[in-house]
Amino acid sequence: MRILLYNPDNGVTRNFMPHLWMFLLQALTPPGHEVLLIDGNAQPMDEAQIAQFVRERNIGLVGIGAMTRMIAKAYRTADAIRTTGVPVVMGGPHVTELADEALGRDGGPRHADAVALGEADETWPQIVNDAVRGELKDIYAPVDSAGKERKPPLNPYPVIPWDSIDLNQFNLVPKAAYPLLKQVGEGWGTFRIIPVESGRGCPYGCEFCTVTGFFGDSIRFRTNESVVDELLLLKARARSEKGQMAVFFIDDNFAINLKRTKSLLRDIIAAKAQVHWVAQISANLLRDEELVDLIAASGGKWVFIGMESIDPVNLKDVNKGFNKPGEYATVLERLAKRNVYAITSFIFGMDNDTTGVAERTLEQVRTWPPGLPIFGLLTPLPATPLYKRLETAGRLTRPRHWQEFIPFTMAHTPLKMSIGEAHAEVKYGWAHAYSPEALAQAVDSLDDQPLGYRINIFLARLCFRGIYFPMMGKLAWLKVVAQNRQTIFKLVKEAFFGRRTRPRSPEVEDSYEDVAARRMSAAK
Ligand code: B12
Ligand code: SF4
């Protein structure tokens, strides 16, 4: 049978990274089947085009996975495919929580022939076998023979054949540039960011998050060896095509077990399996100096930190009191001293937020080493404790917000400001963190660093800007380039004529604070 695994586009930006679930299920498919992958972010298709693709390629089963924000598109696609007579099975966090919605048992239309609840590593082979026999069940739940919920142990973990999978749709380098860029350094003909998991689960139970409910609070890890082998495979693939491979460790909290993470990083270093990587780690776990040393030595370049708020009252409200805003600066300095930078994520519209929260947050951000701040709105995802609390309090303004997904739009009323004010705060955050002045400051604050770092932070900021201000066409990019021409000119000039580098010395190790102090006194 030919199977199509499809992930709908997120409706806002082109995702920089493919979704792991597709590769994982492809690797777990019983032998004798051909599995095709389409990520709508990389290969945009409308519903009619996908239905036509399914017909023309003689597909026998379609699997669709989606987060809540893409579920409306996923349902439309499933509807179009089902009109061709091909069965659709859906999985992922949204349909796990709302299986009745997907199966049309809540009074609405039916979109899926079957739903895979929770982690489908062990149910997927059974789904495929049932589909071959034309005997799909409505629901597949990951349970053991006694009917008790069973979480895949991740050991053994399937080998994803990164050396042979067709990854063309996920190359971030334009095709036309391949012949030239493959000659640069070790080769830049391709650049891909690949998702790799080293473990699953998070015990913290933040109120707005689906992870603790979905993956459970018991944490499971792959063996170090299995992760290291995967990295070596990716490195070999990059070398063979004169390109680059970076890895996103998608674990929800990569350092949740410090001892295990350190041992993994040591093994990566010992096996020379280092690639540039990014991972999500909560700030409290980054207090450990040895961990941060190992992060840097094993190829870690960016750490995604869910800071959420600089207000301890807000953090306590959402059960994230383990985040201590007072230590954010120290943690970021600790990373920056090793040339590791942070993607700092903030949520506005929390119950203790008042107008001006964006500027108050930015005042702090400006005193930190340069990073990539991102701003979102508190969103009640189905089945989270937050959803239940707001529903009970009658505060949901769009209880089924996913049926009509609108980016950066609230679905409930915050306590101390209006919905419109919360939206304005998010806009202010993005506009000011990614203005040409802010980009220039980020580049300048790395004055003591080689040009490569400065270009890196500049390009990363340009790309992140697109999360809120989508830059989909050439014209949009040209406009941004024009706005940032001074910084671009400066970097190009340095590339050709060099510049006086200011060496990093103990006296300038706290230079971010100095820079911040200078900036603040200049602003007065
Ligand atoms: C990596 C990641 C991202 C990446 C992008 C996704 C990517 N390209 O991989 C980035 C960092 C960009 C991202 C961003 C966001 N993310 Co995110 N992300 C994740 C993360 C950490 C890992 C996803 C993953 O690969 N997991 C491992 C795989 C193996 O698990 P899985 O995808 O769930 O798949 C398993 C099952 O669900 C099932 N399954 C899944 N699909 C299918 C399909 C079929 C047919 C079948 C049979 C089974 C099946 O089988 C798989 C194997 O067991 C998850 C949390 C988590 N641990 O999953 C959050 C998560 C998916 N993200 C979430 C959210 C909310 C977001 C954002 C909206 C955050 C924000 N406010 O901006 C953005 C939106 C992104 C966008 N623009 O589209 C939520 C989604 C919750 C929900 N109900 O939708 C999650 C669950 C985290 C959370 N806080 O609750 N994210
Ligand atoms: S620490 Fe992160 S993954 Fe864990 S519950 Fe909180 S938000 Fe979710």
Q: Quick: pLDDT tens for 158-179.
A: 999 999 898 888 888 777 777 7
Considering only CA atoms, which of 66, 65, 81, 49 is closest in space to residue 5?
A: 65
Ligand 1 mean position, distance from CA 122 (Å): 18
Tokens of 148: 């008790």
pLDDT-derived band at 216 (thresholds 50, 70, 90) equals: confident
Q: Cβ distance 235 to 298 under 8 Å?
A: no
Q: Cβ distance 77 to 390 under 8 Å?
A: no
Name every protein residue with a CB atom under 6 angstroms from any ligand 1 atom: 10, 12-13, 15, 17-21, 24, 63-65, 67-69, 89-94, 116, 119-121, 124, 195, 197, 209-211, 215, 250, 252, 376, 381
- The verdict on the CB of residue 212 being under 6 Å from ligand 2 is yes
Q: How far apart are CA 297 and CA 266, in angstroms?
A: 9
- Residue 166, number of CB atoms within 10 A of its CB: 8
Those residues with Cβ within 8 angstroms of residue 55's Cβ, 6 or more apart along the chain or in another chain? 84
pLDDT at 55 over 90: yes
Tokens of 36: 């095709």
- Residue 465, number of CB atoms within 10 A of its CB: 21
Ligand 2, from 67, 209, 282, 319: best to mutate by most atoms within 8 Å of Cβ? 209
Nearest CA to ligand 1 atom 11: 250
Q: How far apart are CA 429 and CA 347, in angstroms?
A: 11
Give one word for 394, left, alpha or beta, with left for phi > 0 and alpha for psi -120 to 50: left
Q: How far apart are CA 315 and CA 378, in angstroms?
A: 12
Q: How far apart are CA 328 and CA 305, in angstroms?
A: 10
Spell 311-333 as b/e; 16+ CB within 10 A means b. beebbebbbbeebebeebbebbb
Q: Quick: pLDDT tens for 278-304.
A: 999 999 999 999 999 999 999 999 999
18 preceded by a cis bond (ω within 30 of 0): no
Q: Bridge-partner residues for 287, per DSSP?
A: none
Q: Which amino acid is at 357?
A: V
Q: Cβ distance 28 to 123 under 8 Å?
A: no
Ligand 1, from 7, 15, 67, 319: best to mutate by most atoms within 8 Å of Cβ? 67
Q: Which residue has the higher pLDDT, 212 or 394?
A: 394
Q: Cβ distance 129 to 136 under 8 Å?
A: no
pLDDT at 383 over 70: yes
Return the percentage of the chain with pLDDT > 90, whole number: 79
